[in-house]
Amino acid sequence: MQTNLAPARPRTLQERILRGRWIGKILLILLLGYATWAIGRQAVASPALFAEQVKNGLQLGFVYAMIALGYTMVYGIVRLINFAHGDVFMVGAFVSYFAISRVNLHLWLASLAPGLPEGVSLLVGTLTVVILAMVTCAFLAVVIERMAYKPLRTAPRISALITVIGVSFFLEYFGALDSCSAPTSSPTSARSRSRSGTSRAASTPWSQAARRRRAACCSQTSSSLSPCPRSSCWFF
């Protein structure tokens, strides 16, 4: 038995564009072209600033990559979205900050062997601070897993999710006890710190006034639950 097949209707130009997704492809090409032109113009106008921004982007990207890798590994093993994973990294940042600013751990080799080159002593001291932060983060992660996550392996998912969020909040507010939720940074002038024994910023009236404002802000915040403003808590 023969069947009469109707000839295929030729596609119109609109159907070809919609089926081939040419609109999205053209918009993506235009966006990439504009981004390339804008980045190239900025690189030619101020190459030093462009190189600095590239370095900052790579540093931030590496941090995001490590956190994403940790999220993926934890979820792939225990099937749990660990919202406190980034807060564990925050604790490591605080450990390195206090080890440098208050304990001067990065200068331990320079104090024991003053005859060594300054670059070598600072490199060894920096690696010591990094190792201390890594060990602290690993120990904290093990403690959290044993005390908070492991007892809830067979519990409903909502119980584990609430526990993870609670651990995240605990680490965040525990880390804000000393810093008053104010942005802080590690000392950038390690060379001048090693020579004079004090930070360069501590000798300027501007930094002293900022520290006084921060102390007043923290004392005010300790008596209330409202966060202190960024402008009054920033110190250098």
Write out pLDDT tens, residues 118-171: 888 889 988 999 999 999 999 999 999 899 888 888 888 888 889 989 998 998
Return the pLDDT at 195: 46
- In 3D space, the residue among 222, 212, 140, 210 whose CA is nearest the CA of residue 178 turns out to be 222
Return the pLDDT at 153: 81
More confident residue, 201 or 119: 119
Exposure string (b/e) for 21-60, b if CB count within 10 Å is 16 or more? eeeeeeeeeeeeeeeeeeeeeeeeeeeeebeeeeeeeeee
In the predicted model, what is the mean pLDDT of the chain?
75
Return the pLDDT at 58: 92
Output the CA torsion sign for 209, 93, 158, 147.
negative
Torsion of CA 159, 161, 163, 168, to 10 degrees: -170
Return the pLDDT at 11: 63
**Residue 136 in contact with residue 95, Cβ under 8 Å?**
yes
Residue 221 has pLDDT above 70, yes or no: no
Q: Please name the residue that has the structure tokens 């001048």.
A: 192
| Tokens matching residue 203 | 């000798």
Return the pLDDT at 39: 86
* Full-model pTM: 0.55
Return d(Cα 40, Cα 20) in angstroms, integer: 31
Q: What are phi and psi of 200, to 5 degrees?
A: -70, -35
Who contacts 85 (Cβ-Cβ below 8 Å, separation ≥6)?
67, 70, 71, 74
Express each pLDDT in 62-87 by its tens digit.
Answer: 988 888 888 888 788 777 788 888 88
What confidence tier does 110 reach under pLDDT thresholds 50, 70, 90?
Answer: confident
Give DSSP secondary structure letters for 95-147: HHHHHHHTS-GGGHHHHH-TTS-HHHHHHHHHHHHHHHHHHHHHHHHHHHIII
What confidence tier does 56 reach under pLDDT thresholds 50, 70, 90?
Answer: very high
Q: What are phi and psi of 7, to 5 degrees?
A: -65, 140
- In 3D space, the residue among 27, 137, 24, 156 whose CA is nearest the CA of residue 80 turns out to be 156
Give DSSP secondary structure letters for 163-224: HHHHHHHHHHHHHHHHHTT------S-HHHHHHHSS-SGGGSHHHHHHHHHHHHHHHHHHTS
Supply the DSSP symbol for 29.
H
Q: Please name the residue that has the structure tokens 């809830």.
A: 152
Return the pLDDT at 192: 44
